[in-house]
Chains A and B, each alone.
Chain A
């Protein structure tokens, strides 16, 4: 017998149907199934641990660098410039200028700033660039894809909403992305928000396509028909029933897009258009460090390795999610 258990939220399910489902032992929600499949992927789990650790580090780092004066990333200690990692602070420093525990875990840069403190602050800024940019691209992508998928058949004059929005997406896809980002960032006044917005605006196209495809498939499903028959308003069908079910591929591309955004920011920094001081991001620490690659290689290696590890973690989690969501693979693995 078939179970009338659409993937729709439980709040709209009839209590009888839910009880029936539980009696049949369908206790596992799609999220639990996903988690079970995801957990088997060791690399992806490793990536997840790294990301969780990173978020903690970024938050704690933001607090520490903001409120603990000796860990202020902008403190200039010229007598201690270009010290290698783990070296003790020089004795000529005033007592209240000494770094925590009297050492520089990641050394100091050309102005004697504590690289450890700068990396801590940078982790927060780099992550926020990634997350904000991806939120913007998700917002645009879900809106355009959702409109095209749900209201696609409506006519606006001679052309349908669907072809209008999708042709627009095609137009944007034809732009040389990195070149356009570079142009706009170079022309706009330098600001961290402009960089987030530009990266977001230039990366929503794949999300829009995924969401549209999912919506086209979901429209025909029974639980949407049922929701319509119940007389639910359209916004409720869209936001409570369709978007949560369309999120799976979007989540994957969002995870990978965060990685992309962090890399794009570092590439922009390399070309001199990245986030400007006083913000430290991993990208601009790395880009500044390349001038000292012979004298102070740690200024180059530490941020580079950090970016590599974090972007790798995002990519691994994204791929792990994709594999876990792919029912064909899941069946074969289980």
Chain B
């Protein structure tokens, strides 16, 4: 087990280095220079541009730039092109903003999908099943921002609640309960919107998985033994149907960075996705590269975690 773990971790680290080289090359070779963004600024003189280019190593060959980036990233000295502030603390600050949104979304998705999917599987072909199927496909097919705008309009008009940003402007001095309620309201609508697609996809998976398990022989055996339906469905079928979802849990991690660009933009939520979007607009290469790198690292970590979870949960899997 430990040898397997060590080997996988080494493999993943190698993969991560390859990914970082590829993404660095792709992004650095693409046209567009950070110094061009502010080209119309009359305060920007030619010697300033040269100085800026030198201080960010922009004139070095690309492999040296990669090494500089890696070194700065590891020592925590990586500076953003945009404002010269260190990248890592900035990302950390935004991460703390993204985390509640991500956690709330995940919670909604995973608590809502299972009951919906299981019911649909048990009542296969019924009106409920066909109805949820159609709703699920509709939710998958609707552009996220379209639905969000409609929902924002509806919430603002019928409940007179502000939903944009982290909190309502000017409530910093209000009493504790009001501030908490304000934060919660601002959190609920974005996470609900981000969760809708997730619920649609996951409940379909749950349904398919339950259908597959319900057709197994051991479920028939359990029924033939005379167990009550409750026990068969939740004790025998669901427990086995849950296995693949253990792996999906690990794969959620990268969604923390890349999954939320649209929703953070709509709701002006100052999280990681919006940070990346702003960095892209400003050609802020250190920030873009670091976010990309972290997303890849999270993906690999997620795969590793799901492998480990799977081995822990499923006794049939043996690791030499």
Contacts and interface: CB of A to CB of B under 8 A. Distances in A.
Contacts of B27: 183, 187
Contacts of A182: 261, 276-277, 280
Nearest to A168: B18
Contact of A300 (B137, B149, B259): B149
Contacts of B134: 43
A175 B149 contact: no
A312 interface: yes
B257 A174 contact: no
A186 B281 contact: yes
Interface in B9-28: 15, 18-19, 22-23, 26-27
Q: Dominant SS at the A interface? A: helix
Contact of A312 (B138, B281, B296): B138
Contacts of B311: none
Interface in B265-320: 265, 273, 276-277, 280-281, 283, 288, 291-292, 295-296, 299-300
A263 B138 CA distance: 13
Contact of A174 (B19, B133, B138, B153): B19
A314 B32 CA distance: 36
Nearest to B298: A176
A207 B307 CA distance: 23
A176 to B, nearest CB: 3
Contacts of B259: 178
Contact of B137 (A267, A271, A316): A316
B30 A259 contact: no
Contacts of A176: 254, 257-258, 292, 295-296, 299
A182 B273 CA distance: 11
For chain B, which range describes its interface: under 10, 10 to 19, 20 to 34, or 35 or more residues?
35 or more
Contacts of A316: 137
Contacts of B281: 186
A271 B281 CA distance: 10
Contacts of A263: 141, 143
Interface stretch (A14-22, A80-88, A216-224, A303-311): A303-311
A121 interface: no
A180 interface: yes
Contacts of B149: 290, 293, 300
Contacts of A311: 140-142
Contact of A270 (B30, B145, B300): B145
Interface in A155-212: 167, 170-171, 173-180, 182-184, 186-189
A253 interface: no
Contacts of A188: 30-31
Nearest to B12: A174
B144 interface: yes
Given A266-B143, A286-B143, 12 more contacts: A171-B15, A174-B296, A175-B295, A186-B280, A263-B141, A270-B143, A290-B145, A293-B149, A300-B146, A307-B141, A307-B142, A308-B146
23 contacts: A43-B133, A171-B18, A171-B19, A174-B19, A176-B254, A179-B258, A179-B273, A179-B291, A180-B292, A182-B277, A187-B27, A188-B31, A266-B143, A267-B262, A270-B145, A271-B262, A271-B277, A304-B143, A307-B142, A308-B143, A308-B146, A311-B140, A312-B138
Interface of A: 43, 167, 170-171, 173-180, 182-184, 186-189, 259, 263, 266-267, 270-271, 283, 286, 290, 293, 300, 304, 307-308, 311-312, 314-316, 319
Nearest first, the 7 A-B pairs at minimum CB distance are: A176-B258, A187-B30, A176-B295, A311-B141, A312-B141, A304-B146, A179-B258
